[in-house]
Amino acid sequence: MTSTELRDTGLEENPVRTESSNAWWILSGVVMFIGTLVLLVAFFVEVPYFANLPGPAFRTDEFVTIPGQETTESSGDLYLLTVLRESVTLVGYVQASFDDRITLIPREVILPEGRTSEDKKRADQQMMEDSQQVAIAVALERTGYEVSFASDGVEVGEISPGSAAEGVMQEGDVIIAFENEPVFFSGDLVSRIQERAVGDVVEFTIERGEEILDLKVTLGAREPGDPTPIVGVTIFTVGSRFDFPIEVLIESQNIGGPSAGLMFSIEIINQLSPVDVTSGHRIAGTGTIDSDGSVGPIGGIRQKVFGALNAGADLMLVPEANFEDAVAALGGQDTEMKLVSVATIDDALQAMA
């Protein structure tokens, strides 16, 4: 074969190699595009879940001031605990699934159909305001002051579709009693409900216009397998009235919900009492406070245990109903922090003595 023939043979083969090369580049481009799209979805598109993460612990003396009164200087620190809630991407969901500090919650549990983030925020702020007033009342009673309080009841707001309350309660109903016991504040009602179990049939006495009705509701769950009983309504106190002999100011600093009630009460007592109730310790805690001094359960106990650890607490006060979950969360952690179960504020003060 001549050199010319060799060159001709090469020229005949080049078109075949070029078509194959073009196909390979096209395929590579498609694969890269799909890969990039998958990565964008994984990192930026949210899945229908929220993640509860440990939030910061705050010193309660930064929230509470008592003008015009001689207060006791504390040798220790009191901390309230918080939970951060964030939307989750696919990557975040996978990471959270392997992180013991994080709890994943279906979005519809936090924001049922028809409820917005703003609705949730308003409800949380209302519960915070109610809990502050009740915390002040309980603390002043424990330090020897006479206080009086009342309300017009607890009004029903939005009703979640498919909830236990749907078809039984109506928006605008005012709850005045639960299981034949008077109800004054939304926090008290939430605590009493959470002392029951999913599937329990409970009775609410409500005002609907000019009528007084007794309504039976079977308590539901937030989601299948969740032991926390719920009614499925938003509620808020109406016409609350407090008569306090001294002024106590609490600044919520954009924290919502009722779970700081216990620690607010203890902080007020610590400032007004001649004895430093901290005894020089770093004490973290959580729990709602009822008008009779009972401590109610809260959400996010796992995250709050880790928040207490991050704050370097010696002792963490835990509502009785959350104690088993708190012990489970603390298990395996290298710490000397002690958990104490409390059913009342008196239990908490005794544990700190």
Catalytic residues: 259, 304
Contacts for 44-49 with beta carbons within 8 Å, 24 or more apart? 44/89, 45/89, 45/90, 46/87, 46/88, 46/89, 47/88, 47/89, 47/90, 47/93, 48/106, 48/107, 48/108, 49/88, 49/93, 49/104, 49/105, 49/106, 49/107
Q: Return the bridge partners of 177, or none.
A: 182, 205
Cβ pair 239, 201 in contact under 8 A: no
Calpha distance 248→242 (Å, rounded): 12
Closest CA to 240 of 75, 126, 101: 126
Strand 233-238 versus strand 153-159 pairing type: antiparallel
Say how many CA atoms lie within 13 Å of 158 toward its Cβ: 14
347, containing H or E segment: helix 345-352
Alpha-carbon span 111 to 93, nearest angstrom = 18
Task: Tell whether the torsion through CA atoms of 34, 94, 121 and 159 is positive or negative.
Answer: positive
Q: How far apart are CA 258 and CA 54, in angstroms?
A: 17
Whether the CB-CB separation of 282 and 79 falls below 8 Å is answered with yes
The CA-atom distances, in angstroms, between 167 and each of 78, 162, 201, 243, 262 are: 44, 9, 15, 38, 35
Let me know: does 57 contact 308? Beta carbons within 8 Å.
yes
Q: CA torsion, points 65, 68, 71, 76, in degrees to nearest 10?
A: 20
The identity of residue 28, as a single letter, is S
